[in-house]
Amino acid sequence: MKRPRRQSRHGLLTGVASDASMFRLLAIGLVAGVFSALFGVGGGIVIVPLLVVAGLPARAATGTSLAAISLTAAAGATAYAFHGDVKPGAAALIGIPAMFGVIGGVALQQRIAGRTLTFGFALFLAAVGIRLLV
């Protein structure tokens, strides 16, 4: 007997995922993990756009990405620490102010339209891409 599936209002599921949604989320996680390990990115730059393409609104994609980053960051930092490539002092000097920045960023994000957030993020990614190529 099959279990009934619960759909969220955004198409991706909040609890139990459909087979297609589950596969998309697992694929997004795998891609984010590979990019995190290779380039030190994966959260916002990879997860957010892929979740938006998968059907989540910008705010839900951002919140979901931040929750997933904690797991990705812990695994990545642990793996790099085993190789001696983590500088705890530098991480604290970046991470502690970043925590306060997140609080301010969330407050600001709640005042900006979702479409504007998506457009602004796309412009940011394009600018970073151009800068990396030049």
Q: What is the DSSP code string of 48-94?
A: HHHHHHHT--HHHHHHHHHHHHHHHHHHHHHHHHHTT---HHHHHHH
Q: What is the pLDDT of residue 4?
A: 44
Give the CA distances from residue 15 to residues 8, 30, 33, 72, 111, in Å, rounded to whole numbers and listed in that order.
Answer: 8, 20, 22, 20, 28
Query: CA 59, CA 74: separation in Å to the nearest integer?
Result: 23
Does the pLDDT at position 92 exceed 90? yes
- How much of the chain exceeds pLDDT 90, in percent? 37
Task: Please tell me the pTM assigned to this model.
Answer: 0.72
Does the pLDDT at position 103 exceed 90? yes
Give the pLDDT confidence of 27-52 residue by residue, as tens digits.
998 988 888 888 877 777 889 889 98
